[in-house]
Amino acid sequence: MNNNLSKIQRLELDALKEIKVIAEKNDIKFFLRGGSVMGAVKYKGFIPWDDDMDIAVPRGQFEKLMEALKDDWSERFWLANYRKGDEIHAYFPRILVKENYRKQEALPANNHLGFSIIDILPLDGVPNTTIGRKWYKYHVMLLRGMGAVFTRDVKDTIVIHSKKKQFAIDLLGKLGVRHFYTQNKIYDKLDTVYRKNKLDGAKWVGTITGSLFDKEMFPVNYFGNGISIPFEDTEFLVPNRYDEYLKQLYGKNYATEEPEHKKSHIEVK
């Protein structure tokens, strides 16, 4: 493994361990999400080429975690959140390495704020009906596209949109989204949409604000209460039905195949 990548992964694990301690003190539960679940299941740790981590936090507990992490909670890490006025250019909060430590350790930057290492997504209810989820998907798609207009020209941000999505974002930009909204106003609208479907009693849940978009809507029993499985030298919760969860996100052969493009958040474009 590349020495720098190994160093980054150790740092990410340290950050998530710190978050886990804070979460447990505040009776907050979180799940690994996406590729981090894949890593836990397939490799008992990091995917060998992965350079970030993702967690999903049930909405009510998500708000408690945001409160717990809003101040100076770590010597090496900090929480960037658009609600605090941070120019994060994302709806969901991210954990970043503090700049003095990043420079001291000669770590890369992957956005204009520095080095982002963990994404924290709320786990929300989504509509229970097929047609409801379809309308929900397109509503969220429009708002996310509008929000992405403001990120197109932000210096030092790694862009991972497909050509098709980038075309749609460029089109929304030409239609003058900037004249009617700020990016944070669009995120506020997204927040309202996400919160509308309560998690308590929901039959379907999701992290549709994530990179895999509408693939990230699941029957609630996929998550359940979660199960704790090994990840490197510790353990984290993953969805109860992690095999079905991963097949929905990455295909039925996720356990035996590797992707052709191994996505990086620090590669040079």
229, 236 Cβ separation under 8 angstroms? yes
Strand pairing partners for 236?
229
**Which token pair is 266?**
């620090």
| Global confidence as pTM | 0.92
Name the helix (H) or strand (E) containing 78.
strand 77-80
**pLDDT tens digits in sequence order for the chain, 269 residues long:** 467 899 999 999 999 999 999 999 999 999 999 999 999 999 999 999 999 999 999 999 999 999 999 999 999 999 999 999 999 999 999 999 999 999 999 999 998 999 999 999 999 999 999 999 999 999 999 999 999 988 877 666 555 656 777 777 888 888 888 889 999 999 999 999 999 999 999 999 999 999 999 999 999 999 999 999 999 999 999 999 999 999 999 999 999 988 766 666 565 33
**Residue 158: DSSP 8-state:** P
| pLDDT for position 173 | 80
Q: What are phi and psi of 151, to 5 degrees?
A: -100, -10
pLDDT the model gives residue 65: 98
In what helix (H) or strand (E) does residue 100 lie, and over which residues does it extend? helix 99-104
Would you state the pLDDT for residue 169?
Answer: 82
Sign of CA dihedral 251, 131, 138, 190: negative
3-state secondary structure string across 113-154: CEEEEEEEEEEEEECCCHHHHHHHHHHHHHHHHHHHHCCCCC
CA angle 95, 268, 248 (to 5 degrees): 60
Q: Are 119 and 35 in contact (CB under 8 A)?
A: no
Structure confidence at residue 267 (pLDDT): 53
Residue 83: the pLDDT is 95
Of 220, 242, 221, the closest CA to residue 231 belongs to 242
Q: Contact, 158 vs 265, CB < 8 A?
A: yes
d(CA 235, CA 67): 24
